[in-house]
A = this chain, B = another copy of it.
Amino acid sequence: MLRSIATVSVSGTLVEKLAAIRAAGFDGVEIFENDLLYFDGSPADIRKRCADLGLQIMLFQPFRDFEGVSKERLAQNLNRAKRKFDLMHELGTDLVLVCSNVNANVIADDALIVDQLGELASLAEREGVRVGFEALAWGKYVNSYRHAWRLVDAVNHPSLGLILDSFHTLSIDDPVDPIADIPGDRIVFVQIADAPLHKMDVLEWSRHYRCFPGQGDLDVARFADRVLATGYQGPFSLEIFNDGFRAAPTAATAADGYRSLLYLEEQAAHQRTGQSAQPLFTPPAPPAHSGFQFIEFAVDSTSAPRLAQRFAEAGFHTAGKHRSKDVTLYQQGDASIVLNAETDSFASEFFHRHGLSLCASAFQVDDAARVFERATSFGYAPFSGRVGPNERVVPGVRAPDGSLHYFVDARPDEPTLYEADFVLDAQANGQPAGPGDLTRIDHVCLDLPADTLDTWVLYFKAVFGFEAESAWLLPDPYGLVRSRAVRSADGSVRIVLNASVDGRTSTAQSLHIYRGSGLNHVAFVTDDIFAAVEQLRARDVRLLRIPLNYYDDLEARYDFADDMIARMKDAHVLYDRDAQGGEFFHVYTEQMDGRFFLEVVQRKGGYDGYGAVNAPVRLAAQAQRKHG
């Protein structure tokens, strides 16, 4: 499969765009007309630059408002087309995208349009180029690929083919199955874009909110599968109009774009209903998950005892010391916390860069080597650190913030990771959980720079095989926070990604303290929220105080048994209930150093969310602690 991207999809000058696109691995580009107009050099200069880079110019676009016009306008339009064909020769591409007319005065007459597209095709043939016709979702008369195909089919000219675009089809809920009935050799180009669902004018939606496949809510994989079923031999080409991408670093966006096409090929292959005439990217399968193995903090000699005390107050015990490094393991139930104070290590580098922070996470998977291979096949950077004698080699990969994600598999015949690497405290370990004990990590919530949320979502989908929920927009007293949860299919691993839209929110401030890579909070599971609170209080943990007014409102909204409201109020427990009656009880500790904190959660009756409705209460309470 050839992989391409339109120059409009990434930021920068054209020179910067082309270099980043090539570096990301793409085979070719669509030259977006504005990028050409803005380029201070000739089309031949662009041709040469692309040739030097080894990048094929697959398409020139767009040519607008051609069809369904008066005779006079047709002559003008053909003249205009001739000029662009000349330009294409200079540019070194033989394919132009003609998108359907958006003018209010378009003549809604298929026979006329067939004639006019026929004239354009004849001109193209004489000039030695090809025309691809694409229906815009907001085209005034032609607005669906099926209509466009009927016209192209009727013209029946070798120099005219159909161009498909996943956004134009999926955005208007146009059925995708009929795509498979189009002969693959009549489809001359396929554009790919995803988008989060928004209830808005489709043109505005398209211009500002497109994203890479896998980052949005559209079923691009099914679209791609139907295209491949036609026998289509051409490239998949990303065409993304996204306000965020326009401002994001060019190279990172291009790299994500390339990965998103790999991911799409894999997803499409899973759906395969027809024959694909093309070889597709087939990475090793995503892992089966069984929870967090541990999360690891980068600490120094000052912060280590402070953080250790916090976890001790939360009921964790010192479970072991690393055999060769200044690394300590704290455990409670199946929840493991590692504090890494080793100097001259990855952790100390990370500490140097971000201060006290989450430098690594380890995930229990069915086959660690396979996940590692999968991650690197998507172009994510592998990591190997210093490993002492007898220590187990743990494959790792760099997460988008530079922290490490390790993969650990169960090996029945070998010592566990902890047994291999740590001198364990036999006495402290293996005690059965009492009521209110924390049993495992429920989820981890990360603070992210605003423009990296899409990058993280793609990373977790591609490497981990996670599902992503739709985004929440959470009001902090000082601005909005965009929040999106990803999780393994079985729910054993859950990660919430928080990106502050604005600069003064708690999330943004915390990220500032961390200098770019931040932990918002870790949530632990308990089977008895009230017993857990009692335990925490017995150990003098300061809980985030929840306003009493919150409980008055809860009481007005729900029926609770007996003294439940009073108990929640007393324990500062927040509450949510889903449509099926599933319940969520959760409580927060106060922030440490004005940033991260712990959460304890109890899920009942299949509740599957994170209490997002309560997040504004928490954000406001945290703000009031700081600002009054």
A200→B205 CA distance, assembly (Å):
9
The CA-CA distance from A504 to B503 in the complex, in Å, is 16
A616 and B501 within 8 A (CB): no
Q: With A200-B201, A627-B13 as given contacts, are A545 and B40 in contact (CB-CB < 8 Å)?
A: yes
Contact check, B556 vs A13: say whether CB atoms are below 8 A apart.
no
Contacting pair A247 B503 (CB below 8 A): yes
The CA of A207 and the CA of B616, in the complex, are separated in Å by 16
Known: A87-B552, A200-B204. Contact between A13 and B501, CB under 8 A?
Answer: no
A550: nearest residue on chain B (CB-CB)?
B37
Q: How far is the CA of A246 from the CA of B508 in the complex (A)?
A: 14
With A83-B556, A87-B552, A243-B501 known as contacts, the answer to whether A11 contacts B479 (CB < 8 A) is yes
Task: Let me know if A549 is at the binding interface, CB within 8 A.
Answer: yes
Q: Does A326 contact B (CB under 8 A)?
A: no
Docked pose: A34 CA to B200 CA in angstroms = 27
Partner of A243, one of B15, B480, B552, B555: B480
Contacts of A84 in B (CB 8 A): 556
Partner of A200, one of B15, B199, B246, B553: B199
Nearest residue (CB) in B for A555 is B83
| Distance, CA A617 to CA B475, complexed state (A) | 37
Q: Is the CB of A38 within 8 A of B621?
A: yes
Do B204 and A37 touch (CB < 8 A)?
Answer: no
Is A246 a contact partner of B502 (Cβ separation < 8 A)?
yes
Is the C-beta of A16 less than 8 angstroms from some C-beta in chain B? yes
A537: chain B residues within 8 A (beta carbon): none
Given contacts A200-B201, A204-B199, whether A12 and B627 have CB atoms under 8 Å apart is yes
A42 within 8 A of B: yes
Interface string of A197-239 (1 = CB under 8 A from B): 0111101100000000000000000000000000000000000
User: Is A478 part of the contact surface with B, judged by Cβ < 8 Å?
Assistant: yes
A624 within 8 A of B: yes
- Name the contact of A247 in the complex, choosing from B11, B36, B478 (C-beta under 8 A): B478
Interface set, chain A 9-42, CB cutoff 8 A to B: 11-13, 15-16, 33-34, 36-42
How far is B120's CA from A606's CA once the two chains are assembled, in angstroms? 37
Contact B204 A80 (CB under 8 A): no
Q: In the complex the two chains form, what is the Cα distance from A478 to B502 in whole Å?
A: 19
**Candidates B87, B479, B547; contact of A39 at CB < 8 Å:** B547
| Chain A window 306-319, contacts with chain B (Cβ cutoff 8 Å), 1 for yes, 0 for no | 00000000000000
Chain B residue contacts of A43, Cβ below 8 A: 549
Name the distance in Å between A540's Cβ and chain B's nearest Cβ: 21
- CB neighbours (8 Å) of A201 from chain B are 198-200
The docked-state distance in angstroms from the alpha carbon of A502 to that of B503 is 12
Q: Which partner residue on chain B sits nearest A81 by CB separation?
A: B556
Chain B residue with Cβ nearest A208: B473
A15 to B200, CA, bound (A): 36
Partner of A627 from the list B16, B547, B616 (CB cut-off 8 Å) is: B16
Q: Please, which residue of chain B has its CB at the minimum distance from the CB of A626?
A: B13
Q: Which of A549-564 contact B (CB under 8 A)?
A: 549-550, 552-553, 555-557
**Interface contacts beyond A37-B617, A87-B552: sample of 16 additional A-B pairs, CB < 8 Å, sorted by A:** A11-B477, A12-B623, A37-B550, A38-B477, A38-B621, A42-B549, A79-B556, A83-B552, A83-B555, A83-B556, A198-B204, A199-B201, A246-B475, A247-B478, A247-B503, A247-B505
Complex A-B: 15 CB contacts under 8 Å: A15-B624, A16-B477, A16-B627, A37-B553, A37-B617, A39-B547, A39-B620, A40-B545, A79-B556, A83-B556, A84-B556, A243-B479, A246-B478, A246-B479, A246-B480
Closest 6 CB pairs between A and B?
A: A247-B479, A247-B502, A199-B201, A38-B620, A200-B200, A83-B556
